[in-house]
Amino acid sequence: MATDPYRYFRVEARELVEGLAQGVLELEKGSTDAGVGPRLFRLAHTLKGAARVVRRTGLAELAHAVEELLARGRDQSRPSSREEILELLGLVDRMSAELKALDAPPAATAPTAPQAAPVEDAFQTVRIEIEEMDTVLRAVMETGVQLSSLAREITRVRQLALVSAALSNRLGLRAGTGSANARDQALAEELRSGLERSAQGLETSMERVTQELADVREGTDRLRLVPAEALFPSLQRAVRDAAEALEKQAELTITGGGLRLDAHVLTPLRAALLHLVRNAVAHGIESPAERRALGKAPRGTVALRVERRDQRVVFTCSDDGRGVDVRAVRRELAARGLADAAELAKLSDDAVLERLLGAGISTTASVTPIAGRGVGLDVVRETAQRLSGDVRVRSEPGRGTAIELAVPVSLAAVRALVVEAGATTAAIALDDVRETLRLEAGAIGRTPEGDVVSLGGKILPFLPLGRALRQPGGFERATARSAVVVAVGERTAVVGVDRLLGTFEVVVRPLPRGALADPVVAGAALDAEGNPRLVLDTGGLLTAAGMPAATNVEPLAPNRLPILVIDDSLTTRMLEQSILESAGYAVEVAVSAEQGLEKARQKPYGLFIVDVEMPGMNGFEFVGTTRADPELRRVPAILVSSRDAPEDLKKGEDAGASAYVVKGEFDQNLLLSHIRRLFG
């Protein structure tokens, strides 16, 4: 029996409290989702029941107080008041404090295990330590090795069945010479039949066991991985509280939360990311009055992007605020004696920003509960060092700051395109794939710099995957072949393959230490049979194709207004959002024309992309309404519809749309060309 009676309760309770915090913040933002209140009520009720099971009366009473407060607002027609929101947040904070007190319970005072008691909410999940899952995984892998031995034995049984069949045939030829030979022939036939039945039964059972082991291995891999979005509730609360304390307006936008990573990577990153988002509000985001004077929206934006690059996971925290005051950093370095005048004169602005990471200084004039002690970036730097990662800073006056924290990962689940080149099967991260195509014979040209392909009006380098993997054999330019267009940032290349096998989620494992591998290989993954397949490094492929590696942090997005995508279809919204964000645009979405109109009147946008056919107000009506509004009429609008009749196009033109895109002919390059024409 575990000596820590709260071992699993702490994990569950922390998830429940974070869910409560996130839901209360949604209420504070004026969420119109009728399900928020009931969801919060369920979370509080579950926490109350769990706390009572482990005899944590104080926590149970706090959860009950949340229930009581939520019960007052069950009438959805009455929104939660500011006083109620603050009271709920106070209760959530007290719950968090109670949980922290349980983090290291003294062994001498640990309460005895609770006796059987009525449980109000049955636990639906079980928490398992990573070491325990690794033990299961090692056992599964060992079983797979044993199955390989069994497969060889089944092959031997098949061979014996063939031998017995040959013996039966030979005895059959002699059956007429006597009854003894006839009996021998019958025995040989029975032996052959029995061996074949045994081999068939063993093969069927082995296939079933092999598939089940593959499922167990995949499930175990996924269980020990945590989605990055598990960090988000506390980060959203941190931005909200920092803005409230400093009388600013700020919101946190997050992309890439679906990436699943090792818990040992995410756990120490939590504190570093909390400091980053708080610093963005404290040092970057201006007051509403300052932002209005600068022509910015009164509400600032802090953006967190999570992505996998090669063998690293990168967390980029950026804001659209004032940027770092480099002159103030120089003065502080001199005042602290960290650099003399001659040295400071030689330092570039980028070098000064690098010093900011390790100097323990702050450019804030006074110390506040949010900032001013120079601790935040020290925590970020120390976290990066502990995880063998690095930190980079880029800032532009008046446009904001981007801080990139990159750390290596030992295990990560990614969606990948699996391809075949010669005898090699390999995977390419789907996030780095722009498109796949079929190159006709003669489409590949030769230049002094290497092979190239003309695509979309651009000349792109071409790299046969077999050549990148040093496979023997030549390469035929006159043969039609499949190809994958890959890109990282502004670097793009075309990779030739023999076959496209489909998209799968793969768990990427690092190569063993000392393993010699080409730079195009990032790691390995196991297929359904447990065989390793290569996972390719997109950056390495681009370098091998002749595209130089990027050396700087990706530039901040231009300081332009976001695009509002309005569509009642989740699939279409996500597709358009993905295309636009990949092209560097900030995107927000609305699920109806009415919601889009409400958002458009609350904050400025640079462009509307609107579906025509929606329940309630349709796209034509939305565009017509915005054209009649003195403020919104200046915002261009693109209509997207499956209706392509001439009268529909004329109706869109009459409503005031700037462009009309037909879904049946949907072309992301056409959409982006319209946006560049209208929006830049």
268 and 404 together in one domain: yes
Q: Are residues 145 and 277 in the same domain?
A: no
| Cβ atoms of 281 and 239 closer than 8 Å | yes
Q: Which of 250, 247, 256 is nearest to 236 (CA)?
A: 250
Residue 21 lies in a domain: yes
Query: Are 33 and 79 within 8 A, CB to CB?
Result: no
Averaged pLDDT, 169-185: 65
Domain that holds residue 422: 412-544
Give a yes or no: residue 124 inside a domain.
no
Q: What is the pLDDT of residue 412?
A: 67
Using DSSP, state whether 603 is helix, strand or coil: coil
pLDDT score for 302: 93
Query: Looking at the domain assignment, is residue 192 inside a domain?
Result: yes
- Alpha helices (H) in 512-569, listed in sequence order: 538-544
| Residue 48, φ and ψ in degrees, nearest 5 | -60, -45
Q: What is the CATH number of the domain that holds 660?
A: 3.40.50.2300
Q: What CATH number does residue 523 fall under? A: 2.40.50.180
- Same domain for 383 and 309? yes
Last residue of a domain, one of 223, 239, 259: 223
pTM beyond cutoff 0.75: no
240 in a structural domain: no
Of 35-44, 394-403, 426-435, which range is least confident? 35-44
Same domain, 394 and 436: no
Instruction: Assess if residue 116 is contained within a domain.
Output: no
Query: 544, 579, 606: which is the final residue of a domain?
Result: 544
> Model confidence over 69-82: pLDDT tens digits?
887 765 444 556 78
| 502 falls within a domain | yes
Residue 120 confidence (pLDDT) above 50: no
Enclosing H/E stretch for 317: strand 312-319
One domain for residues 569 and 539 = no
Same domain, 323 and 432: no
> Mean pLDDT lowest for which of 203-217, 264-278, 458-472, 651-665?
203-217
Does residue 444 fall inside a structural domain? yes
Domain count for the chain: 5
In a domain, 662, yes or no: yes
Q: Residues 164, 80: one domain?
A: no
Mean pLDDT, all residues of the chain: 77
Note the pLDDT of residue 308. 75
Look up the CATH number of the domain holding residue 86: 1.20.120.160
Model confidence pLDDT, tens digit, residues 276-314: 898 899 888 999 999 999 989 999 999 998 887 766 788
- pLDDT tens by residue, 554-567: 434 444 688 999 98
Instruction: List the one residue out of 132, 201, 195, 207 whose CA is nearest residue 165.
Output: 195
Cα 307 from Cα 555, distance rounded (Å): 16
Beta bridge partners, 405, equal 315, 391
User: Do 427 and 371 lie in a common domain?
Assistant: no
- 104, pLDDT greater than 80: no
% of the chain surpassing 90 pLDDT = 10
Both 340 and 452 in one domain: the answer is: no
Mean pLDDT of 131-154: 68
Same domain for 266 and 401, yes or no, is yes
User: Does residue 74 or residue 410 have the better pLDDT?
Assistant: 410
pLDDT tier at 116, thresholds 50, 70, 90 = very low
Task: Tokens 């529909």: give the residue.
Answer: 648
Q: Pick from 207, 223, 239: which residue ends a domain?
A: 223
Structure confidence at residue 474 (pLDDT): 62
pLDDT of residue 318: 93
Q: How far is CA 56 from the centre of its chain?
A: 36
404 shares a domain with 257? yes
Higher-confidence residue of 614 and 170: namely: 614
Nearest to 123 by CA among 226, 54, 202, 209: 54
Q: Check whether residue 467 and residue 348 sit in a common domain.
A: no
**Predicted local distance difference test score (pLDDT) of residue 111:** 43
Q: What is the biggest distance separating any 2 CA atoms in the chain, rounded to whole angstroms?
A: 114
User: Quick one: average pLDDT of 410-414?
Assistant: 67
